[in-house]
Each structure stands twice: as C-alpha cells, then as structure tokens.
Structure 1
C-alpha cells in the first residue's frame, strides 16, 4: 500500500487531493493546523483508521517535519508521495512587506517544504514522487505578489533541484501551479470588481478553477501515467497565464 503525506489537508486543494488519492487506494497522512478540519477529513474518508492518519502540527515549527515523518513511518512503514500544499494568502507588494510578514510567508511556503522534503527523501524508494503546489505567481509576474511570489518561485526552483539530484534514484519532483481557484477565500473576493476583472475576465475558459481540478492533476502525477514526468511545472489555470484573453464584457467596458 502506497502512502502520501499531504500538507494543508484540512480544506480546499489539500482536502480534495486527500479524497482523490484515497480513492486510488493510497494511504493518507493528512497534515494541518486545525484539528476540527482534520476530523472532517477523517469523516469524509470513512474514519478508516487503517488507511488514514492525521496530525495537527505547525509545519513551520522546528520539529514540524520530524513529527510528520515519524507518524507516517510508524503508522505505515513507508512514504511514497509528498504533496507540499500548505500555504497562506493575502500578500502585499514588496514596499509594504515587513520582515515579519516576509519570514512568515517564506517559513510556511519555502522553508517548511524544503525541510519536509529533506526528511522524507531518505524514506523514499524508486517510483516515489514529491509534488509541490506553487502558483501562477511563480510563472508570471503578479501585482501584490511580494513575499508570496518569492516563496512560490523559490519552491519551483527547489523542485527543479530535487528532480535533478534524486531523479536517478527514481524519485521524481514536479510542481502544480494553480491559478485562481474557487476556495472559500476566493469566493469572498468575487464582490471585488478589480479581482473579477483581473481573474475572471482574463481567463479564456468559462469558469474558475475548482479544488478538484488541482487534485486531479496531482493524482495524475502520482499515477502510472505520470511516471516519466520529472522537473516540470503543470499550470492549471484555464489559460490565464499563457494568453492575452479579455472577455467581451471587459472589452466593451469603459
């Protein structure tokens, strides 16, 4: 039985990914800070104690990665997949970002994935994979990106290193870069005309991304079909980052 560690598993993309991988027969180690959200994940997966373990931990804490890896090895005896998904939003531009905010973003979205991958790799065998959830802000320039862009861009570069350094051992590393995805946080911003203009009106597909879209891509990279994909960034954004699309409504706006 294969085993996947998923950070940020209490909601959104992480929750959907846990469900998708569980349905593929993979055992899940769900990681999050909110114990109540993790209980909802356990319930969604049928309270299957033989194939599901969760741990409430701050991944940025000094003992965070060790706690996660220890649980996975003690419960299941192996680690096949690491999905570094946990993240935070609402960044500010460079000139508005203080050191505390910078350290917080880098700590959660770059330092923690770095340390967790470092602790996981010794337990991985050929056929294993690390999937880092980055962002379109790691692919193109984005306003207000600041520390978020720096973190996600660094994570993309780390992925390339892992793919090169450990690919010969049969350990792959790839990025999945979501565009704006319809999570609770994003839905709250749909009343902001500027947000809608920037994201909805510039996406040449008639809906926003869903957590299921990202989870399906991650699941593919954990499947036999994704076995020869290494060192890549798969952007899941409906064409937002690769086109110059503007909706007819936006084109006609004054």
Structure 2
C-alpha cells in the first residue's frame, strides 16, 4: 500500500504496544515514520526494524515528555532524525500516543503521580501541537489516543481517566481551530488492548477472560485493531471527519 507515500508521520510512544502497531501500519501505508520513544532504545529499534522489514521507512528518536521543555527537546531530536533520513522539518501526521498510567484509586493518589500523568498525557501533546503547527502541512492529520476511561467510570485509575478527558477536550478545540487549514483532529479511544500497560491485569487466564468479556467479540483488543482505525483517520478517505471521538473497544459497554 502507498496511500501515504511522500508523507511524514510522527508517532509518540512508538517503541511498543499500540504505538508500535500504529508505526508499523503507517509504514506499510508508505509514510516515513518517526518512531518516538522515552526510554527503551532497543524496543524502538525493533519497531524501526519491523517497519523496514515490511518495506517501509522509519527512524527512532528519543525525548522525555515529562520535562519542563519537553516539546523543544522533542523537536530538536526529531529534526536530527529527519535530517538523517534525508527529509525536511515538515511533517503531515502527528499521532499523540505516548502515555503514562498508574495513578490508582483516589485514596492512593499522590501529587507526584498526578503531576507526571498530566505532564505526559496532557501538557506534552498540547505543546507538541503548538510548537509543531508551523511545520505541520496544510491538510495534515492529528490523532490523539485517548481511552474508554474518559467516557466510562474507571475509579481504578482516576487521574489517568482525567488526563484522557482533557485530551478529548483538546481534540474538539483543535479541530475547530485548525479546520481552516484543512487539518483534521480526531480522538481514538481504545478499550482493553494486549499491551505492557495492562499486563498486570492479564496474569492468569481467568483475569484475561474478564477483560475479554468487556467486548462483544469476546476477546482483548490487539494493537493492530487500533492501528487500522488510525490508518483510516490519517488517510484522504477521512478528510470530512474531524473533532470526533471514535470508540475502539470492540463494542465494550453495549
């Protein structure tokens, strides 16, 4: 497939899980994929290798998203990677996928965890967009990876759910703000997906079955299930779709 040929896509938190799935799919679609990671260089390299093995182009770059000037450091590292790939600073697609979790219930919350989750899940995506608008081409795409926890009660991780609610609100505002440039902004909200983030909830077959039962299909989601939806949203086929919240939970809660 080459429907994204000639385009550059940035996927944050792409070293594993949903982010890796998205990077691999966009690479197969023909985009040059900038694989962002925060700590695991080996995992990011594995993502790049998977993209290239499928005939795509990708490179990895590191930037911590919980620092005061995260956006500035992010774009400095990105520029270095783009130059190495023979590409200019402009890009067409930004997928805000990176996220921190683990706040627990209200009585378990600490100010330090609260600050970190909002820094990574809310502040970083907002300022990545702000500082990237000058290089995001007209007709570009922004996809924010949220969670069903923003629309369904999830007291097990109250702060995480709050950050995803903020991300949903950001989608609405940016969709209206950037519409005149032909830039679409949409939210994708996965349910339970088989990733490292929720591995602790799948330690036994019985526990995994409980998660699978949330979906009408009776299974836990796979990164590819989310990646395929993102692939549609960043394509020309989704040109008339913006400001939307797409539940990708396999019918969870029906």
TM range (shorter): 0.7 to 0.9
1:129 CA displacement: 1.0
Asked whether the 8 Å contact 1:72–1:79 carries over to 2, the reply is no
Q: Find 1:25's aligned residue among 30, 38, 43.
A: 30
Q: Deviations over 1:184-221 (max 9, x none)?
A: 34344224699557532332112111000011111110
1:2 to 1, 7, 12: 7
Structure 1 residues 198 and 94, CA gap change in structure 2 (3 angstroms): farther
Q: Quick check: 1:226 aligned with 2:232?
A: no
1:142 corresponds to: 154
Secondary structure of the residue aligned to 1:174 is strand
State the distance in 2 between where 1:42 and 1:190 align.
Answer: 27
- Matched with 2:3 is none
Q: Which of 55, 59, 64 is the equivalent residue of 1:53?
A: 59
Please report the RMSD computed on the Cα atoms of aligned residues, expressed in angstroms: 2.1
1:65 — aligned with what?
71
Q: Number of paired residues?
A: 241
Out of 160, 163, 173, the position equivalent to 1:151 is: 163
Q: Structure 1: which 5+ residue stretches go unaligned? A: 244-254
Maintained 8 Å contact 1:166/1:172: yes
Q: The residue matched to 2:94 in structure 1 has which SS?
A: strand
Q: For residues 178-217 of structure 1, what are the structure 2 equivalents within 5 Å?
A: 178-191=190-203, 196=208, 199-217=211-229
Structure 2: gaps of 5 or more residues: 1-5
Q: Give how far 1:136 is off.
A: 0.1
State the distance in 1 between where 2:207 and 2:109 align: 21
Query: Greater CA radius of gyration, 1 or 2?
Result: 1
